[in-house]
């Protein structure tokens, strides 16, 4: 028996706020120049894709979130998941993919998969259930690849059936397990260290293979044999642009057809260049963006200081200046974006909104031993409070937001400098806790569990200097939060889940492990000049973002615009 990816009985639907950005601007003559300036053309079967993540190292390991294939999203075209789930419609049943059927036992500690027969690896070898079992064993044996920290126990395979048991209920991790990229045993079993394996000649079951790799551009080509109908797109060209401005320019002149990039003044800067074909669609769910604070570093280990910081940060200014009004403000102190999170709010937070209170923050600090020396805030020990706010160079939305935050913190005497790093350097620093504070997104899912687990799970807690790629980058050490997360994950009824979730909201509000700012869309910019069939508000079959697993589903749905 196959069951859906989430239980309708126990989970409220979190469809989120769907932000549809209309094509409001007037026409221009850019369209007439597009195919004469090096731009792409659906007529030759090419689709151009790009992200503002800079030059890439030659690493296509699909199980590493730091690889080029993850950063640009092309791993989704080479490797495939067991089930294709829709992150913007979590109530939907997942689509069978490399697994034809799946079922759980009553307490979600055992998963039985019926693996599809027929797919082949791109080197011609047969895909089998042994590859699925091998991949799960790989994740069990290598914590650095197990980003979801899935507690695998026994993994067995018989025929085309794979049975996986877990040490605790996986009710909340179903989608993470379904979305595992499956790798070929006949290749990966020969790899000495899969956690550092660069996979420079990737072999997958997907419809594309790696043709060429340079730090700037990666080209994939369609292979002849694929277990589904071949996509119309014959070649995919992925580019790592140096920053948001470079990616935006490429979008506006038609050189880049598909991206996820922050564009200030998007109507004039992007849409007006071809209002008939240029589109944005930014659907959101329960994930958020916010200021992650390193709670292991002094003085930010003091909850009073974090509370004061939370009181002065201007979410509305970040929404307007940092994100050009495109990302909705998170007004609830719980961090839940509304209306997506409305059904989950604890009674004490229903109708409560965050309000800036600079005077209240200064009073709170003084009541707890902090003093002011002119404009400078001093700790109870007499040390000035300074901090660095860091994000990747070129991420203009985040950097503008950090400037707002720096100005806000100055109002309570905190000297906060804005610093930049390369994407890889920033990511490694965040994983290892080498920062004071950084703007970063959270996981999202069908319930707020995914967000709170990403921020507060003590099972992910690592000392500074040791990587924690699965989350809890701020080293938040709260056994109470950990207990509530486990109670939610292992609950057997709605009442117990609600009680645990209410406790998580209280801890998040009172202890401020991170400061929520705006909702996190899973959006994209895309052009219909050469290709049609994109997901939209009218046809939300998948999130449109090119780095999601559903990117393959999007490409399989595309058709040439000329018919």
Per residue in 397-417, pLDDT (tens digit) is 899 999 999 999 999 999 999
What is the model's pLDDT at position 33?
Answer: 33
In a shared domain, residues 395 and 501: yes
In Å, how far are 46, 77, 233, 235, 546 from 42, measured between CA atoms? 6, 18, 8, 10, 17
Among 87-91, 168-172, 549-553, where is mean pLDDT lowest?
87-91
What is the model's pLDDT at position 42?
Answer: 52
77: DSSP letter: H
Long-range pairs for 462-468: beta carbons < 8 A, 24 or more residues apart: 462/433, 463/296, 463/433, 464/294, 464/296, 464/297, 464/432, 464/433, 464/434, 465/432, 465/433, 465/434, 466/432, 466/433, 467/144, 467/428, 467/431, 467/432, 468/431, 468/432, 468/433
Cα–Cα distance between 131 and 122 in angstroms, integer? 14
What is the model's pLDDT at position 445?
Answer: 81
CB 213 within 8 A of CB 198: no
Per residue in 145-158, pLDDT (tens digit) is 998 889 999 999 99
The residue that leads in pLDDT, 447 or 35, is: 447
Residue 25 CB burial class (10 angstroms; 0-12, 13-18, ≥19): middle
Coil/strand/helix, residue 478: coil
In a shared domain, residues 66 and 84: no
Residue 81 CB burial class (10 angstroms; 0-12, 13-18, ≥19): buried
Average pLDDT over residues 159-172: 94
Angle, helices 303-312/494-511, rounded to nearest 10 degrees = 90
Q: Is residue 395 part of a domain?
A: yes
Q: Position of tokens 């948001």?
A: 244
Q: What is the CATH number of the domain that holds 66?
A: 3.40.190.10
pLDDT > 80? residue 483:
yes
Which of these three, 192, 214, 231, is where a domain ends?
Answer: 192
Cα–Cα distance between 462 and 503 in angstroms, integer? 23
Average pLDDT over residues 221-234: 97
pLDDT > 90? residue 8:
no
478 Cβ neighbours under 8 A, 6+ residues apart = 456, 458, 507, 511, 513
For all residues of the chain together, what is the average pLDDT?
A: 90
Average pLDDT over residues 470-486: 96
CB 111 within 8 A of CB 1: no
Q: What is the CATH number of the domain that holds 142?
A: 3.90.76.10
pLDDT > 50? residue 115:
yes
Q: Is residue 457 part of a domain?
A: yes
The residue that leads in pLDDT, 520 or 133, is: 133
In a shared domain, residues 292 and 410: yes
pLDDT band at 250 (very low <50, low <70, confident <90, very high): very high
Cα–Cα distance between 126 and 133 in angstroms, integer? 15
Average pLDDT over residues 505-530: 96
CB 151 within 8 A of CB 138: no
In a shared domain, residues 92 and 224: no
In a shared domain, residues 125 and 234: no
Q: Is residue 494 part of a domain?
A: yes
Q: How far is CA 48 from the centre of its chain?
A: 22
Q: Is residue 276 part of a domain?
A: yes
Q: Is residue 21 part of a domain?
A: no
Per residue in 18-40, pLDDT (tens digit) is 333 333 232 233 333 333 333 44
Reported in sequence order, the residue ranges of 139-207 that DSSP labels E, i.e. its strands, are 152-158, 161-166
190 Cβ neighbours under 8 A, 6+ residues apart = none
In a shared domain, residues 512 and 530: no
pLDDT > 60? residue 5:
no
Cα–Cα distance between 433 and 20 in angstroms, integer? 36
Reported in sequence order, the residue ranges of 363-487 that DSSP labels E, i.e. its strands, are 371-373, 376-378, 386-392, 415-421, 437-441
What is the model's pLDDT at position 264?
Answer: 80
Q: Is residue 201 part of a domain?
A: no
Query: Which residues on neighbouring strands pair with residue 104, listed in sequence order?
Result: 111
Q: What is the CATH number of the domain that holds 321?
A: 3.10.105.10
Angle, helices 396-410/244-252, rounded to nearest 10 degrees = 140
In a shared domain, residues 553 and 408: no
pLDDT band at 325 (very low <50, low <70, confident <90, very high): confident
Average pLDDT over residues 188-203: 97
Average pLDDT over residues 257-261: 95
CB 315 within 8 A of CB 404: no
Which of these three, 159, 192, 225, is where a domain ends?
Answer: 192
Cα–Cα distance between 169 and 173 in angstroms, integer? 9
> How many C-beta atoms surround the C-beta of residue 473 within 10 A?
27
Cα–Cα distance between 412 and 258 in angstroms, integer? 42
According to the per-residue pLDDT averaged within each range, which of 283-287, 325-329, 415-419, 467-471 is highest? 415-419
What is the model's pLDDT at position 91?
Answer: 67
% of the chain residues with pLDDT over 70: 92
pLDDT > 80? residue 6:
no
Cα–Cα distance between 20 and 260 in angstroms, integer? 15
Average pLDDT over residues 55-73: 96
**Beta-sheet pairing, 524-527 with 258-259:** antiparallel
The residue that leads in pLDDT, 93 or 430, is: 430
pLDDT > 90? residue 139:
yes
Per residue in 347-404, pLDDT (tens digit) is 999 999 999 999 999 999 999 999 999 999 999 999 999 999 999 998 888 999 999 9
H-helix or E-strand spanning residue 68: helix 68-72
Measured on CA atoms in the order 264, 265, 267, 268, is the torsion positive or negative? negative
pLDDT band at 43 (very low <50, low <70, confident <90, very high): low
In a shared domain, residues 176 and 244: no
In a shared domain, residues 349 and 461: yes
Coil/strand/helix, residue 172: helix
In a shared domain, residues 125 and 136: yes
Structural domains counted in the chain:
3
In a shared domain, residues 152 and 142: yes
Cα–Cα distance between 130 and 465 in angstroms, integer? 36
In terms of Cα–Cα distance, which of 442, 441, 451 is closest to 397?
441
Q: Is residue 386 part of a domain?
A: yes
What is the model's pLDDT at position 263?
Answer: 86
pLDDT > 60? residue 1:
no
User: What residue numbers bound the domain in which 543 lies?
Assistant: 42-76+206-283+522-562
Q: Is residue 11 part of a domain?
A: no
In a shared domain, residues 420 and 549: no
pLDDT > 80? residue 488:
yes
Reported in sequence order, the residue ranges of 75-146 that DSSP labels E, i.e. its strands, are 83-84, 95-96, 99-104, 110-115
Reported in sequence order, the residue ranges of 393-463 that DSSP labels E, i.e. its strands, are 415-421, 437-441
141 Cβ neighbours under 8 A, 6+ residues apart = none
Which of these three, 135, 170, 192, is where a domain ends?
Answer: 192
In terms of Cα–Cα distance, which of 224, 216, 218 is closest to 201?
218
pLDDT > 50? residue 12:
no
In Å, how far are 311, 333, 346, 495, 507 from 350, measured between CA atoms? 19, 10, 7, 18, 16
Cα–Cα distance between 490 and 276 in angstroms, integer? 50
Average pLDDT over residues 318-343: 90
pLDDT > 50? residue 243:
yes
């Amino acid at each position: 028996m196959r069951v859906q990816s989430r239980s309708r009985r126990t989970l409220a639907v979190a469809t989120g706020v769907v932000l549809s950005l209309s094509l409001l601007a007037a026409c221009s003559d850019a369209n007439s120049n597009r195919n004469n300036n090096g731009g792409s053309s659906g007529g030759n079967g090419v689709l151009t894709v790009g992200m503002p993540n800079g030059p890439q190292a030659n690493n296509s390991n699909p199980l590493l979130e730091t690889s080029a294939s993850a950063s640009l999203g092309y791993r989704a075209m080479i490797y495939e998941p067991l089930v294709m789930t829709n992150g913007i419609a979590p109530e939907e049943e997942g689509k069978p993919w490399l697994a034809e059927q799946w079922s759980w036992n009553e307490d979600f500690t055992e998963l039985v998969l019926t693996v599809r027969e027929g797919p082949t690896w791109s080197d011609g070898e047969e895909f089998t259930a042994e590859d699925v079992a091998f991949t799960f064993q790989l994740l069990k044996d290598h914590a650095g690849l197990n980003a979801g920290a899935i507690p695998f126990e026994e993994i067995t395979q018989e025929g085309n059936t794979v049975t996986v048991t877990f040490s605790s209920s996986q009710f909340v991790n179903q989608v993470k397990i379904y979305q595992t990229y499956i790798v070929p045993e006949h290749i990966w079993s020969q790899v000495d260290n899969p956690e550092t394996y660069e996979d420079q000649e990737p072999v997958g079951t997907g419809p594309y293979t790696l043709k060429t790799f340079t730090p700037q551009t990666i080209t994939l080509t369609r292979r002849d044999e694929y277990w589904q109908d071949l996509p119309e797109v014959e070649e995919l060209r992925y580019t790592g642009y140096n920053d948001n401005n470079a990616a935006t320019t490429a979008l506006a002149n038609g050189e880049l057809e598909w991206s996820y990039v922050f564009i200030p003044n998007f109507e004039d800067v992007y849409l007006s260049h071809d209002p008939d074909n240029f589109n944005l669609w930014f659907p959101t769910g329960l994930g958020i963006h916010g200021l992650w604070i390193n709670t292991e570093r002094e003085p930010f280990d003091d909850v009073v200081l974090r509370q004061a910081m939370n009181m002065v940060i201007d979410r509305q200014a970040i929404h307007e200046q940092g994100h050009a009004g495109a990302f909705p403000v998170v007004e609830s102190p719980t961090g839940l974006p509304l209306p997506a999170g409305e059904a989950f709010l604890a009674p004490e937070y229903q109708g409560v909104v965050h309000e800036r209170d600079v005077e209240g923050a200064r009073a709170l600090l003084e009541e707890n031993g902090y003093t002011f020396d002119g404009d400078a805030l001093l700790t109870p020990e007499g040390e000035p409070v300074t901090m660095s706010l860091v994000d990747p160079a070129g991420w203009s939305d985040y950097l503008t937001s950090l400037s707002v935050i720096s100005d806000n913190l100055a109002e309570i005497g905190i000297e906060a400098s804005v610093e930049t790093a390369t994407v890889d350097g920033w990511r490694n620093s965040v994983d290892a806790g080498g920062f004071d504070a950084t703007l970063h997104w959270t996981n999202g899912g069908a319930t707020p569990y995914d967000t709170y687990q990403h921020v507060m799970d003590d099972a992910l807690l690592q000392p500074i200097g040791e990587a924690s790629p699965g989350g809890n980058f701020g080293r938040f050490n709260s056994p109470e939060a950990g207990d509530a997360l486990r109670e939610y994950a292992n609950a057997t009824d709605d009442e117990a889940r609600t009680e645990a979730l209410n406790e998580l909201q209280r801890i998040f509000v009172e202890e401020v492990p991170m400061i929520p700012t705006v909702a996190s869309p899973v959006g994209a910019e895309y052009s219909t000049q050469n290709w049609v069939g994109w997901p939209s508000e009218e046809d939300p079959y998948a999130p449109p973002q090119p780095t999601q697993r559903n990117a393959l589903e999007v490409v399989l749905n595309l058709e040439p615009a000329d018919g």
